[in-house]
Structure formats: structure tokens, C-alpha cells
Structure 1
Amino acid sequence: MSKPSIRQLLPLAALLGFTMPLAAHAQASGNNQVLRVCADPDYLPFSNSAGQGFENKVAELLAKSMGRRLEYHWASYRGQGGFSNFLADNLDTGKCDVVMDLPYGDNEEGYTTPYYTSSYVFIAKNNDITSMIDLTRHPMKIGYEEETTPETALKMLDLTQDAVVFHIADDPNSSPEQFLRAVENNRVGVMITWEPAIGAFLKDYPDLKVHPVPAEEYGPGLPQVSYTYPMALGVRTKDTALKAELNTVIAANKPQIAAILADYNIKLYKQPASVNFTNQ
């Protein structure tokens, strides 16, 4: 994605291995009446403690469908070490059982079937930029988030020297709206970010245009780089029963989930052809 991404989701850095304390494991696996979710208390449009984010709304829907009470453990996605440390310090240690946005195929955590697929996008005042390679033909100030797929591609294309790097993943006071303001105020000519992060704010920036970043190859023999990611719920690998239950309610509530995402102006994309669900 991203969040993919905005929270060092895409790609995820390798996580440190953690052993869950026995007491925490017993708490995590022993209560089938509660859905315990770790979420950021102040990071719209994803989540907040008032329940106003799209992750909050999807969590509420799934908990109700499972017949469970929804319970949160609040922790910032943007603390030291970013989203990787968030997972290690909260999900892996048993403070919750579910996180709401994890790239499908993550190597360190368990994950459900995807509940949506979205993309990185270009944001600009015009729609001339339709691919990363276009940026080599139209010189302009580029904004991007650190440790994301676009950063990797920009380095491959030698386009980072004069770019503006946003370090949102380690800033607990940050908001994705700053990406739109950067374009609106001409700090950058084009911003590249995870689309779900900015969709809800776009109504306040009617002059900005958004275009998905297409998959491309950047050199002979190099693999195609994709910017479209399916996003799943994250669970501990050992929690197979919970994973199966979540897969069931995701499948049963697809129209309702899509309606929630539409309310937050999150555009949905087709699953990449390379994605398979053999682990499900």
C-alpha cells in the first residue's frame, strides 16, 4: 500500500521475534466473548478513540457479526520504530488479538483474507503525471513517505536528490492531511502516498487531482513493481481459530465493508494477479 505506507506498512520492515508471556497468551486465546483490537487513538482517517475512523467502523461491524464485544487497546502507530514496533509491542505481546490493517502476505504475523485492496496515488494540481517514469520527463518537486514502495522506485529512477521526504511514521502528532496541504501550498508539485490515508480529506481540496500509481518495470531484467496492495486483518500466527472466524465474517459482510470504505472515499482496486490465498 501503505498503509500499506503511511505507517511503514508497505513494505514492512522485519520485526523482532517476541515470545508472548504465558499469562498474556492465556488472556489472548481464552475469551471468545470479546474482540480485542489494537488501534491508534488519534490517527484519522484510520482510527481514533472516539470511533470515528474507518478501521473503527469495520471493527464494530465484524465484532457485531461475531457476537462479541469490541474492546480496544490504544497505542500509536507512529511511535518509535513505527508500525513494526507497534505490532511487536502490542499484538505479539498479547495486549490485543487483532490489528485492522496489515498487508496480505506479511511474513511475520498471521493475516486474514483481504477486506479491501487499494493503491498508492499521485496527488497534484494537474493530471499530467500518470506513472513513476513520467516523473523523469516532467521535472517537479516530489514528495514521498520514507520506507515505502514509492521511495524504493524513486531511488531506482534517481529522483530523490531534490525530493521532500515525509517522516510521518515516527511522528505521533502527524496527520495524512499534511500531504494534501503540501501540494495545495506548492511545497511539492506532486505527492505520492497511500490512497486510503487521504481520501476522506479530499473534499476540502477540490482543485487537487488523484491518479493511481501503475505497476511498472524500471530496467531490463528487473521485476515489475506494483503499488496496489490487498489489506487484511493481522492476528498472531498461532491464533488459527480466530483467523478462521474472522475470514467467515469478512466474507459475510463484504457489501457492508465496501459501504464503510466508500463513506471514507476509499477507492477499491482489483487484487493484483500475483496474489493467491493458499494460506487461507
Structure 2
Amino acid sequence: MELRRSGAVLAAVAALGAGLAPQARAQGADDAAIELVDPDVLRVCADPRDLPFSNQAGEGFENKIAELLARKLGKGIAYAYYPNSTGFVRNTLNAHRCDVVMGMPQGDDIVQVTNPYYRASYVLVVKKGGELDGVETLADPRLKGKRIGLVAGTPPATIIAQNGLLPYVKSYPLVVDTRADAPPHDMMEDLEKGDIDVAVLWGPIAGNFAKDAKTPVKIAPLLHEKTGPRMVYRMGMGVRHSDQEWKRELNKFIAENQVEIDAILASYGVPLLDDDDKPKEARKAP
């Protein structure tokens, strides 16, 4: 199973966590308004090999949410596929090959982001029943001397450094071509094999792995950090900065279909949070 957001979204989240402006709006975001490439077809920008988010077979949760959106709008659906790495937005959304990126963190300036449709955090993943079961913060002294898997450059890296844990880190690359590499997948395999003791990973990725893990694992959202960048992010849909009416239409879809969206996310093991950083239970759609 391949994973994502070692590219565009994890990079955007990493930049936000470091207080940087991710690529800003230099990639043609101020072009003259072109609201939709095709008014009869929902055209989605996506990575072709980036589960649990998306793939070319339509098996990711962003594929399923896009299908729900297309049905509600009475449109067909088509994809502009491009690896989730440097140049993703430039070569898809801002090239007018598609009209929406399904998952972008609020605060990312490279696109205009809708209202959020889910809220999640970075998490710790450990083997259930092991000696690290119950660890909920990177300040826990039980992590000293333990082998820690970390995607380089993501927000938890700062907190890991502040707690003197860098000597124990096994680093995995952030920006890769997902057609060839899947660092979060490698990290979770290493946890299962015992090559690392704990994985520090973006929650939607970790949750999907935990759902199907051969060795039971425990996920602890990183909600108790006292210093460093934020660990919790609101995720919306990305559109061009010029597409105001389209953004309003997507906001309406999110508001009216949140229960169904939550059910899709929950089915993929995404550990959802409410606005109080409490676990959010998915309700059944009426």
C-alpha cells in the first residue's frame, strides 16, 4: 500500500509548521478568472499513486470524496494526475488542467483553501501492549534512547530536536516522486519489523496503516506538546485564488455533506478530531 503527502501536502504542512509561506502565489495564481475548466465535469488534481489519499484506480479517500462531490453536483468526474511533489499545483490547478485539489491545509497560500472538511494531527504510532504504549507526547522520557521514525522536515522534527531526541531518529525523505518511493510506507514496515520503536507521522496516513496492520499498533495524536509548531491542521479543498464562486459552491457542499464525508474518512481509519481536539466519532448518514 503506497502513501502520500510525503510530497505536496506534507511539504505544505511542514512549511506552515515552520512559519514559512509555502511557495506563495508565484505559480500563476493571479491569472484572469477561469472558474471551471469544464462546467459539466468535475476535474480533480490528484496524485496517481498516493494511497490512502488517491490513486489512478480511484481507491483513495480523496477519490471517494471527489466522487461524492461529483454526484451531488450532477457532474461527471475526470482527473489530472501528477506526482505530489514540487510543481504539483503549477502543473495541475494553475495550468487549468483541473479545478480542485481535494486535500490542502488551511493557511497554505499556494492555493485558495475552502472551509475545512476534516481536522487531524500528527501522531505517535507504537506497537500495542509494548513498552511505549501509553506515550502521548514527544516530551515523554520513555522515548530517550528509542529508535524514532520521522519524515524529515515535518513539524514534529522541531519538537523532537527540542527534547534532545535527534540522535535516535531514523529519517525518511519528505519530497519524493510517489511513483517510485513511499517513505511513510517504509517507516511503518520498519515499525512492524522492529527496526524502529515509534513512528511519528501525519495522522491520516498512520490511521490507514493501523487499520490493516498485521501487528496491532496504538495511535496517539500529538495534542499535548508545550512548545514548537502546531501539530493539528484543518484540511480543506484547494482552488485557484481567482475562483471565488467555485469556492463558495465547495463550501456549501462541505457544510451539507459533512456526515457523509466523515463516514468516508472513518472507513479509511483517519483519526478525526473535533474543534476541541477530541476524537470525532463519525455519524451514520441519514
TM tier relative to shorter chain: 0.7 to 0.9
* Paired AA for residue 195 in structure 1: G
Describe how 1:1-280 pairs up with structure 2 within 5 A.
3=5, 7-12=10-15, 14-15=22-23, 17-19=26-28, 26=34, 29=36, 31-77=38-84, 79=85, 81=86, 85-125=87-127, 126=130, 127-134=133-140, 138-172=144-178, 173-175=180-182, 176-202=184-210, 203-218=212-227, 225-271=229-275
Structure 1 96/188 Cα, relative in aligned 2: closer, same or farther at 3 Å?
same
Q: Distance in 1 between matches of 2:51 and 2:103?
A: 13
Stretches (4+) displaced over 4 A: 2-6
Report the CA distance between 1:261 and its aligned residue: 0.8
* Paired AA for residue 51 in structure 1: G
Report the CA distance between 1:56 and its aligned residue: 0.1
Report the CA distance between 1:184 and its aligned residue: 1.1
| Contact 1:8-1:169 within 8 A present in 2 as well | yes
| Contact 2:29-2:110 within 8 A present in 1 as well | no
Q: Distance in 2 between matches of 1:272 and 1:93?
A: 38
Q: Distance in 1 between matches of 2:5 and 2:91?
A: 19
| Contact 1:46-1:55 within 8 A present in 2 as well | yes
* Paired AA for residue 40 in structure 1: D
How big is each residue's C-alpha offset from its partner over 1:80-125, in whole Å with a ceiling of 9 and x where there is no partner?
A: x3xxx21232222222111011001222310111111111111112
* Paired AA for residue 50 in structure 1: A
Report the CA distance between 1:67 and its aligned residue: 1.7
Q: Normalising to structure 2: TM-score of the pair?
A: 0.82
Q: Distance in 2 between matches of 1:180 and 1:191?
A: 7
Q: Distance in 2 between matches of 1:216 and 1:201?
A: 24
Could you tell which deviates more after superposition, 197-206 or 178-187?
197-206
1:277 — aligned with what? none
* Paired AA for residue 64 in structure 2: K
Report the CA distance between 1:171 and its aligned residue: 3.7
* Paired AA for residue 198 in structure 1: A
Q: Distance in 2 between matches of 1:20 and 1:9?
A: 16
Structure 1 169/271 Cα, relative in aligned 2: closer, same or farther at 3 Å?
farther
| Contact 1:47-1:56 within 8 A present in 2 as well | yes
Aligned residue-pair number: 260
Q: Distance in 1 between matches of 2:174 and 2:63?
A: 21
Q: Distance in 2 between matches of 1:49 and 1:118?
A: 25
Instruction: Describe the SS at the equivalent of 1:237.
Output: coil
| Contact 1:229-1:271 within 8 A present in 2 as well | no
Q: Normalising to structure 1: TM-score of the pair?
A: 0.84
Instruction: Describe the SS at the equivalent of 1:91.
Output: coil
Structure 1: unaligned runs, 5 residues or longer:
219-223, 274-280
Could you tell which deviates more after superposition, 5-14 or 34-43?
5-14
Instruction: Describe the SS at the equivalent of 1:65.
Output: helix
What is the RMSD computed on CA atoms of the aligned residues?
2.5
Structure 1 200/15 Cα, relative in aligned 2: closer, same or farther at 3 Å?
same
| Contact 1:11-1:148 within 8 A present in 2 as well | yes
* Paired AA for residue 54 in structure 2: S
Structure 1 124/21 Cα, relative in aligned 2: closer, same or farther at 3 Å?
closer
